[in-house]
């Protein structure tokens, strides 16, 4: 194949060589600016280092290994998504990073220091709405600064109002959570977590309960906020498009037990828009994730195995 | 067709229209009172007695006396065989079932009628004394029981240390401690307060701790990730998170405290409304007995309605806050409470929710 510098190689010099010599899969091909971004990203200090983290639950028939020696690193201001099939322990992973669950073995370093138990340095946004129903939007956001930094009412209120402005809810500062829609509640939850100035923001399927349109808005919102704030995001999701749309890198977990399958660099350039959903990079990444998470065999339904008796009139067919 | 707007009265777990709400609430009072009225005023319903208006030749009747209907008929039959003058009378109910108008009259005149003997209390004095006993018993119980219940609900080790014994103790009937309470605390009001306390406290701790345990755990976890210390969790999450349910519990518990009142007031020197009722029963003034019992009910109901009204002002974050009450009996049974609503939020709530605006568009 060592083609001599002929006329054909002059027409497309780099790509043909690239294909023939390295032959990386489509999803690995990065535009130069994307590759440059990842190089810079790797140079940033490591914020979160997870080392051989395992979690065992006591099941009915003995211990069950939920997460098996998970190891990865997140760099400062990285957007890391964790995806995997259901049962891969991604929620447990989020809860362990937040300190709500304790790992059975392994360790976790935040800024190089081991962490144990929940703390204000790791903010968390849950899937369910966990706003305090008895506090107004402003007071919900004031909660963190007050309990973790001991700010006075007026100081905390000033900070809270800035965050309310950022998430665009100034008109609702004095509303109670039950008066807000689902998307607005999650915006308050994000503001509440960020008001504490955490080092990382752990988000456990935060938009899972929202309808498709609101979810799309929230994703765009989150990217805006992430761009403006010094925050590293660890985002748990089972939505592949969401992961590719948001993430710098995607950590793919296997299920039973949860193991790291791959850490994929998303080739889609930033800034991200929804128009990119049909771009070559996006579809390539999407296809790769599909293959990893939904292997073809698991999706097709074997008609013999799931034989359903006909319960309709002959001729009244729908397909 | 009239079928289109058919009102369903027996829908399972549906919500009532305001009209149904009011109608049924009023009916719940009218039905028993109506039954009482029928029994009292329709001569052929029940009326097992005869009120003698003219004794005639009956040897042992006197005018105004209540006589068993069978005995009355038997006596008249006997007089009939002797060709004497038969006794006259009208069907009547026993003395212990006064008709509604007599009770209503007693209710109004009760406060203006001086007691039969000067050393006896007036009705309002008796009632006020009872209310004080209830208040102090319930107050002292709550001062200890509510904080202890909350701590038990929040901290499992303290719950385990206290609850098994409390569980045992709450089965001991409060009146059983009457003699002991008198021996220790004397014969006046102190033992009565103590009985209310014993009757309320142990239930209270268990009820409140169970309420505290129902707090949405995700709220505690959220607070922890925001850096809340243990003290903060207790004072800034657990307490405000359950306060609405505790308030409802307290309304129910206050009702229980009233049920211990009669027993408590019999201990030592009988006092309060119990003494009043017993005295009236001795004088066979059953209209006054009924009036006093109705008064207790009215006071209880009024207290509860008042507390419910106050509750709606106290907790502005509730969806029902400050809504003008249309309820006859506003005991909120919605125990799901305000604790973090997980899942589809607006649609699942029975009350119309003021969703202020849809998400305003994002792109900046």
**φ, ψ at B43 (rounded to 5°):** -60, -30
Q: Give the per-residue pLDDT at A301.
A: 63
Q: Domain check: are B251 and B128 in the same one?
A: yes
Q: Is B343 on the interface with A (CB under 8 A)?
A: yes
Q: Is A134 within 8 Å of B229 when comparing Cβ atoms?
A: no
Q: Is A148 within 8 Å of B226 when comparing Cβ atoms?
A: yes
Per the CB < 8 A criterion, the answer to whether B8 and B14 are in contact is yes
CA distances from B71 to B59, B60, B68, B337 (A): 12, 11, 5, 61
Domain count for chain B: 2
Q: Is B222 within 8 Å of A126 when comparing Cβ atoms?
A: yes
Contacts of A100 in chain B (CB under 8 A): 221, 224-225
Q: Domain check: are A257 and A172 in the same one?
A: no
CATH of the domain at B144: 1.10.3720.10
- B358: nearest CA partner in chain A: A181
In a domain, B109, yes or no: no
In a domain, A115, yes or no: no
How many Cβ atoms from other residues are within 10 Å of residue B124's Cβ?
A: 13
Domain that holds residue B55: 49-94
> Cα(A129)–Cα(A210) distance, rounded to whole angstroms?
11
Nearest to B340 among A128, A179, A214 (CB): A128
In a domain, B266, yes or no: yes
Nearest to A184 among B228, B319, B359 (CB): B359
Instruction: Mark the ranges of chain A whose per-residue pLDDT is less than 70.
Output: 1-23, 295-306
Q: Domain check: are B232 and B193 in the same one?
A: yes
Q: Domain check: are A203 and A136 in the same one?
A: no
Q: Domain check: are B250 and B320 in the same one?
A: yes
> Cα(A209)–Cα(A100) distance, rounded to whole angstroms?
22
Q: Domain check: are A218 and A261 in the same one?
A: yes
Contacts of B219 in chain A (CB under 8 A): 130, 132
| Tokens describing residue A151 | 């700010």
| Domain-ending residue, one of A170, A198, A226 | A198
Q: Domain check: are B280 and B325 in the same one?
A: yes
Q: Give the per-residue pLDDT at B343.
A: 36
Q: Domain check: are B160 and B71 in the same one?
A: no
**φ, ψ at A55 (rounded to 5°):** -140, 125
Task: Quote the DSSP letter at residue B63.
Answer: T
- Predicted ipTM? 0.84
For chains A and B, CB pairs below 8 A equal 129
| Domain-ending residue, one of A151, A166, A198 | A198
Q: Domain check: are A191 and A130 in the same one?
A: yes
In a domain, A73, yes or no: no
- Candidates B214, B215, B220, B227: best to mutate against A (most CBs of A within 10 A) is B227
Residue B139: strand, helix, or coil:
helix
Domain count for chain A: 2
> Cα(B76)–Cα(B84) distance, rounded to whole angstroms?
9
Q: What is the mean pLDDT of each run of 10 residues along chain B (364 residues)?
A: 65 86 92 93 89 85 86 88 87 89 89 84 90 95 96 95 94 88 90 93 95 94 93 94 94 90 87 89 89 91 92 87 46 39 34 37 36
Domain that holds residue A151: 125-198
Q: Domain check: are A184 and A207 in the same one?
A: no
Please state the pTM of the whole predicted model.
0.79
Q: Domain check: are A94 and A205 in the same one?
A: yes
Q: Domain check: are A159 and A93 in the same one?
A: no
Q: Give the per-residue pLDDT at B360.
A: 41
Q: Domain check: are B86 and B188 in the same one?
A: no
- B337: nearest CA partner in chain A: A133
Q: Domain check: are A206 and A288 in the same one?
A: yes
Per the CB < 8 A criterion, the answer to whether B141 and B197 are in contact is yes
CA distance B333 to chain A (A): 19
Q: Domain check: are B59 and B159 in the same one?
A: no
């Amino acid at each position: 194949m060592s083609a001599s510098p002929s006329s054909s190689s002059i027409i497309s010099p780099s790509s043909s060589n690239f294909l023939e010599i390295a032959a990386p899969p489509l999803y690995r091909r990065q535009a130069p600016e994307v590759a440059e971004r990842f190089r810079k990203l790797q140079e940033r200090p490591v914020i979160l280092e997870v080392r051989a983290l395992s979690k065992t639950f006591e099941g009915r028939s003995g211990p069950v290994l939920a997460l098996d020696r998970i190891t990865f690193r997140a760099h400062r201001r990285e957007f890391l998504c964790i995806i995997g099939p259901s049962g891969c322990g991604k929620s447990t992973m989020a809860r362990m990073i937040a300190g709500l669950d304790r790992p059975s073995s392994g360790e976790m370093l935040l800024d190089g220091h081991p962490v144990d138990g929940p703390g204000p340095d790791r903010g968390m946004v849950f899937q369910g709405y966990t706003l305090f129903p008895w506090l107004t939007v402003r007071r919900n956001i004031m909660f963190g600064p007050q309990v973790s930094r001991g700010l006075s009412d007026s100081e905390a209120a000033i900070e809270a109002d800035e965050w309310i402005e950022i998430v665009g809810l100034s008109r609702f500062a004095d509303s109670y959570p039950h008066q807000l829609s689902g998307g607005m509640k999650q915006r308050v939850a994000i503001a509440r977590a960020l008001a504490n100035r955490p080092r990382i923001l752990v988000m456990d399927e935060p938009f899972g309960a929202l309808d498709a349109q609101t979810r799309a808005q929230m994703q765009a919102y989150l990217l805006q906020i992430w761009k403006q704030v010094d925050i590293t995001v660890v985002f748990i999701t089972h939505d592949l498009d969401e992961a590719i749309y948001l993430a710098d890198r995607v950590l793919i977990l296997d299920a039973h037990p949860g193991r790291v399958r791959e850490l994929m660099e998303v080739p889609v350039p930033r800034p991200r828009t929804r128009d990119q959903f049909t771009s070559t990079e996006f579809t390539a990444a999407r296809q790769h994730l599909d293959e990893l998470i939904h292997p073809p065999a698991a999706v097709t339904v074997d008609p013999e195995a799931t034989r359903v008796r006909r319960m309709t009139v002959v001729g009244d067919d729908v397909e | 067709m009239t079928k289109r707007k058919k009102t369903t009265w027996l829908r399972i777990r549906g919500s009532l229209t305001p009209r149904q709400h009011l109608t049924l609430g009023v009916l719940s009072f009218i039905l028993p009172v109506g039954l009482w009225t029928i029994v009292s005023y329709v001569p052929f319903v029940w009326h097992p007695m005869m009120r003698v208006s003219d004794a005639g030749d009956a040897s042992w009747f006197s005018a105004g006396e209540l006589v068993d209907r069978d005995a009355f008929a038997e006596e008249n039959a006997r007089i009939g065989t002797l060709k004497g003058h038969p006794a006259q009378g009208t069907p009547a109910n026993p003395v212990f079932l006064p008709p509604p108008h007599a009770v209503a009259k007693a209710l109004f005149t009760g406060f203006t009628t001086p007691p039969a003997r000067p050393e006896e209390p007036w009705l309002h004095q008796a009632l006020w004394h009872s209310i004080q006993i209830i208040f102090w018993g319930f107050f002292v119980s709550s001062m200890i029981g509510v904080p202890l219940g909350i701590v038990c609900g929040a901290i499992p080790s303290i719950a385990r240390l206290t609850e098994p014994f409390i569980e045992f103790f709450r089965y001991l009937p409060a009146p059983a401690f009457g003699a002991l309470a008198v021996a220790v605390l004397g014969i006046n009001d102190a033992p009565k307060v103590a009985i209310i306390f014993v009757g309320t406290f142990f239930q209270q701790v268990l009820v409140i701790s169970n309420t505290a345990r129902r707090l949405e755990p995700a709220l505690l976890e959220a607070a922890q990730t925001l850096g809340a210390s243990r003290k903060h969790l207790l004072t800034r999450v657990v307490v405000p998170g359950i306060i609405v349910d505790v308030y409802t519990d307290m309304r129910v518990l206050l009702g229980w405290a009233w049920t211990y009142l009669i027993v408590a007031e019999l201990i030592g020197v009988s006092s309060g409304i119990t003494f009043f009722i017993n005295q009236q029963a001795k004088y066979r003034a059953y209209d006054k007995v009924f009036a006093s019992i109705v008064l207790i009910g009215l006071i209880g109901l009024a207290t509860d309605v008042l507390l419910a009204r106050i509750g709606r002002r106290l907790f502005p974050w509730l969806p029902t806050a400050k809504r003008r009450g249309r309820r006859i009996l506003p005991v909120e049974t919605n125990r799901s409470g305000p604790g973090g609503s997980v899942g589809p939020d607006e649609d699942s709530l029975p009350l119309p929710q003021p969703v202020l605006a849809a998400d305003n568009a994002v792109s900046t």
